Chain A
Amino acid sequence: MAKPGDALLFSVVRRDHRPWLLMLNAAVATTGGLLIPAALADAVDMALSGKFALFTLLWLLGMAATEIIGDAIGIVLAASITSRATAWLRNRLSRHLLALGHPSPFAAGDAVSRMTGDCSNAGGVVVTLISLAIAAVTSAGSVVALALLDWRLAAVFVVSVPLAMFLVRTHMQLTADDVLTYQVVSGDVSARLVDAVSGKRTIAAAGIADREAGRVLQPLPRLAAAGAGMWRTQAKMMWRAGLLLPAVEVVVLITAGFGVMAGRLSAGDVLAALGYAALGMSIVGQVPQLTALERTRASATRIAEVLDVPPAERARTTTTNGSGSIELRDVSVGCALHEVNLTIPAGTFAAIVGSSGAGKSTLAAVLGGLSAVDSGEVLRDGEVGYAFERPALLGTTVGRSIGYGTDADGAEVRDAAVAAQVHDVLIRLPQGYETPIADVPLSGGEAQRIGLARAIVRDPEVLVLDDATASLDTVTEAKVDKALTTALPGRTRVVVTHRAATAARADMVVWLENGRVRGSGTHRELWDDEDYRAVFTGGE
């Protein structure tokens, strides 16, 4: 049955000429491989005749060389095809995920697993298909070769393989209990380690590292028991599987022996029969490849799912370069905002307040075009910069994470960091601004201030702070507030906040409730409303 990902897989196969090269190479190498047992049989017969024949030996060498060189080329070609296809899929997918914007219809963890796992599965489609084809051709070719030696050999082989497989078939699955126990206990040890690691300062200060290590390791005996159980089960499976090839070999050898007795076969032919029996079994090992093919298709479907989502329209937004006013007309977004009408004049300090779930962050996202609107219109007079409560800091170094997406130079980055009150922290890092972002142990407040610096460096007409100072102590928040006024004088500022003090400082307050504007005005005007006061006393 066709799956949505099949078309994508087809385009992966047809990307370039390399799959054809691999196929051609495989055809040559497989032919060489199929001719080897026969060539070997001739060579052995030559040896047994006691007369040296150069051509026979050269033929054997030629076939072997064909197979060996073909295999080597095949390894490189296969890796090249798979890795290029994977890269192609990953680039397409990441481009599309970026185009889909925010909020993404795919959860971040899910998207990452599609990027890493699914793309590499789907990228292997060509190699999986060709290996299946090679195995099929090899097996068929071996049966033909056996038939050419003696039709009885082929008949015995064709009958014995399914029979042998039936006899040694593995009834047993890995006992689910042991596997499950192993996973559960292993997870328990990890969780204990995470606990201990997050309490590392307590442990270090109290000097109880060894004792706590013992606590983390407490479940180990159960893990070892489950592990040993898994090995025992596997032992039972393995020894039956190990009998398959000898069983078929013995049957083919006996048949070949009678062929020798009847004069149909030479002594060398016995070896050829043995060789073809082993080659013919290659199809038996292909069950995992079939599973791989199914997995490939499933992965391709998961990638196609993303690629099939059209990027959201951003047409009903008008951005002009200018003073920094924003107007919302009948804006609705899903079930988060309903028909919001709002005008924020240029240069205003506006606070957005409301209890959690009121739609504050969605409103903030709509103001700067971070997310698209379902209906209504957003008129924006100038660029909008954002700072968040929990900013994701991107880019290679700390300095770069401030200049991310711009071509700001070192001095501009530094100025922005000074304004955001984070410069003092950054120069104390091991490599200052050049410290790789992954190596920086940042507290929530520090990350927030770097996020602020990132917004400041863009010098936007409108600055939207989505609870961007929530983790700062009150002293630092006040400093940041003052610095923002100095660094970006006269800019429109929209602040999502839970703090009454912040709302009190604002020129206007927009009070949201269940996705609608419940009221707007100054903090002092709204404070008379008991419901408004409840927004602050109930929160924090």
Chain B
Amino acid sequence: MRFYLSTLAGHRRGVLMLLAWSALEGVPAFFGGRLVGTAVDQGFAAGEPLTGVLWLLAFAALAVAGALGQRQVFARLGAVVEPMRDALVTRIVKGVLNDPTHRRTPDASAVAMITRHVEVVRDATAGVLVQARALLVTTLAALIGLATTATALIWLVVLPIVAALALFALMLPSLAKRQRDAVMADEHTAEASGAVLTGLRDVVACRAADEAFEDISTQVGRQADATVTVAWANALRATVIAIGGFTPIVLLVAFAPPLVASGQLTTGAVLAAVVYLTNNVNPALHGLARTTSTIVMRLMVALKRLQEAAPRTREEVGDEVPSNGEFVLRDVTFGWSPDAEPVVRGLSLDLRPGDHLAVVGPSGIGKSTMASLLTGLMPPDFGSVLFGGAPVDLVVPVVRHHAIALIPQETYLFTGTVRENLALLAPSATDQDLIEAVDKVGAKPLLDRLGGLDATLGHAGEGLSAGEAQLLALARVYVTSASVVILDEATSHLDPAAEARVERAFSQREGILVVIAHRLSSALRANRVLVMDGGKPLLGTHEHLLKTSSLYGQLMLAWDPTHHEEAPLPKR
């Protein structure tokens, strides 16, 4: 919310322009009542129809001026609303991409939700600027107009309105909460029915139609209740505003007779006062009750949801400088939470340039955690991960990012040229370097098929198979000067032969290679193997582990060679 307001304040000029045109919009409200009063008083009632008609035509002319003012307000909305939306989107995108919790990755539907909320903020901001501002301008103009015509009664008019507005403001927080609950209930209903309807096969297979119906029905019922709760609040709000708007009229006519009798108030002044109240103030107040508050609520809910989607970003810190390119892990333990079983327990390991380590173990046991610990994305709970003698997560970020490269299983490709995609981590690489890297990982035929470096890629590597996308990601890291390369199941979509070629290419590169293995054949190519299977990790060469670890022997036996026609490579 604070960010939103400060962004708006940043466009003060645009907002001031809007307010300036609003003054023109307020002109009919300011003069309207008085003109109608005068038209009757000095025109028709005085037997001078021409005067009356002329005053009314003046009223019409002012209405045109007001409409013109409104037109200018709308035309200038873009200058405030669009930059505000840009700032909001920028912040959210940065927040999402900098989010330190690497596990929680929003999927396509979460991104769609973010987009929807941003559009709500945009429309609601425009709505607030149009309606709340109009309300303010109209009410003020009408009250000033009223004060100049029926001065004696101004307090009777102002006090009820101010009281109603104050009460209304007091009700806003509880309204906001109810509105938010309703929005959440709506989302839960969609989620519950979406889960069941997309999983209908599984519902039938589990014979769980009753439980599924109960799950949906519970959310549906809650949503209905939440809607009614909001309606009660709305009714109360509408009543407060309606009373606040109507009381001045009643007070006015109740207190006017003695003033009219004593000549303090003219017919025109009374008419003008009533016109101000019925034609200007009341519609504005009703607008506030009906729409403005709804818009404000929607705005607040959307801003809050956006805040949750993109929490404040944490700046990467670290000023340690590594003294060499070696990794030293001592008694490293890591778990997702203090209560959960640790993923890594008591791991000690040294890695020197030229080392090629394979990490094997069943899927889901937390092999990727190793990658996150080595890249400094997560600090260990206990023990230390030292890179060149310094804790890796405290190494100067630029140094760390240049020295250690991670290729995860899920590939990052963006819309742009193949060159842009390949040079992502090495912006100064020449075309020659890029093509060489592409050739090394065996992606030359792919590059030729795509049409060279200048070819463009669509969203999410559209038109590429998962394996082809992985090849491009591999070439992208190959071309960098990183001295530590971590392949986290980065070859999972390649066939065994292509995988072997990639791993060979990387192991011939200088520095440390860590392969988090998808297939056990990766272990045969490494000079050391780390086995993760829930307990304390096992470390050794392939031969050593075969001799000493029955678990490793079982893993190798279970590995079904019929799928991996490729013959094991001779030891390096």
Contacts and interface: CB of A to CB of B under 8 A. Distances in A.
A372 B488 CA distance: 44
Given A48-B267, A208-B424, A258-B44, A83 B228 contact: yes
A160 B27 CA distance: 25
B60 A212 contact: no
Interface in B178-236: 189-191, 193-213, 215-217, 220-221, 223-225, 227-228, 230-232, 234-236
Nearest to A225: B82
Contacts of A391: 202
Contacts of B510: none
B448 interface: no
Given A232-B75, A474-B559, A220 B86 contact: yes
A80 B228 CA distance: 5
Contact of B60 (A108, A231, A247, A500): A247
A519 interface: no
B398 A207 contact: yes
Given A254-B53, A473-B519, A231 B75 contact: yes
Interface stretch (B91-99, B322-330, B431-439, B538-546): B91-99
A84 B225 CA distance: 9
Interface string A440-476: 0101011001010010001000000000000111111
B406 A90 contact: no
A192 to B, nearest CB: 7
Contact of B201 (A73, A274, A370, A474): A370
Interface in A208-254: 208-210, 212-213, 215-217, 220, 223-224, 227-232, 234-236, 238-240, 242-243, 246-247, 250, 253-254
A191 B234 CA distance: 38
On chain A, which size bracket covers the interface?
35 or more
B81 A227 contact: yes
Interface string B74-100: 111111011101100110011011110
Contact of A201 (B39, B45, B408): B408
Contact of A213 (B39, B63, B75, B93): B93
Interface string A481-510: 000000000000000000111001000000
A98 interface: yes
B256 A47 contact: yes
Given A40-B274, A216-B93, A60 B558 contact: no
A94 B364 contact: no
A224 B89 CA distance: 12
A101 interface: yes
Given A250-B59, A271-B271, A83 B227 contact: yes
A190 B112 contact: yes
A441 B103 contact: yes
Contacts of A471: 363
B279 interface: yes
Given A80-B228, A215-B414, 7 more contacts: A48-B267, A79-B228, A82-B227, A112-B190, A198-B410, A257-B56, A475-B362
Interface in A276-294: 278
B306 interface: no
B365 A48 contact: no
A209 B410 CA distance: 17
Interface in B242-300: 242-243, 246, 249-250, 252-254, 256-258, 260-261, 267, 270-271, 274-275, 278-279
B132 interface: no
Nearest to A244: B67
30 contacts: A40-B274, A47-B256, A51-B261, A76-B228, A112-B193, A186-B119, A195-B459, A196-B93, A197-B105, A202-B412, A205-B406, A213-B93, A217-B89, A224-B82, A224-B83, A239-B68, A242-B71, A250-B57, A256-B44, A274-B275, A365-B201, A370-B204, A392-B199, A394-B195, A395-B211, A443-B363, A445-B363, A458-B206, A479-B558, A504-B562
B49 interface: yes
Interface string A168-198: 0000000000000000001001111111111
Interface in B353-384: 362-366, 375, 377
A99 interface: yes
B337 A430 contact: yes
A167 B456 CA distance: 52
Interface stretch (A137-145, A147-155, A346-354, A420-428): A420-428
Contacts of B227: 79, 82-83
B270 A47 contact: yes
A386 B224 contact: no
A307 interface: no
B161 interface: no
A102 B60 CA distance: 66
Contact of B362 (A97, A238, A476): A476
A435 B340 CA distance: 11
Given A83-B227, A231-B78, A238-B74, A271 B274 contact: yes
B246 A191 contact: no
Interface string B1-45: 000000000000000000000000000100000001001100111
A432 interface: yes
Contacts of B239: 68-69, 71-72
Question: What DSSP secondary structure best describes chain A's contact surface?
Answer: helix
Contacts of A136: none
A47 B253 contact: yes
Interface in A11-63: 40, 43-44, 46-52, 57, 60-61
Contacts of B337: 430-431
A500 B96 CA distance: 43
A163 interface: no
B308 interface: no
Interface string B498-530: 000000000000000000001110000000000
Contacts of A84: 224
Contacts of A7: none
Name the 5 nearest CB pairs between A and B, nearest first. Answer: A199-B412, A405-B208, A392-B199, A79-B231, A228-B78
A516 B64 CA distance: 78
Contact of B410 (A189, A199, A427, A432): A199
Interface residues of B, number: 167
A80 B68 CA distance: 41
B40 A201 contact: no
A189 B50 CA distance: 61
B70 interface: yes
A95 B201 contact: no
A183 to B, nearest CB: 10
Nearest to B374: A205
Given A197-B106, A242-B67, A267-B271, A47 B363 contact: no
A441 B343 CA distance: 15
Nearest to B195: A394
A78 interface: yes
A196 B70 CA distance: 41
Contacts of A206: 401, 405-406, 424-425
Given A227-B85, A257-B40, A478-B558, A91 B204 contact: no
Interface in B393-434: 397-398, 400-401, 404-408, 410-416, 424-425
Contacts of A76: 228, 231-232, 235
B563 interface: yes
B152 interface: no
B412 A425 contact: no
A64 interface: yes
Nearest to B342: A428
Contact of A499 (B36, B45, B563): B563
A8 interface: no
B250 A205 contact: no
Contacts of A235: 70-75, 77
Contacts of A370: 201, 204-205
A94 B460 contact: no
Given A257-B39, A474-B563, A445 B364 contact: yes
B519 to A, nearest CB: 7
A196 B232 CA distance: 43
A108 B397 contact: no
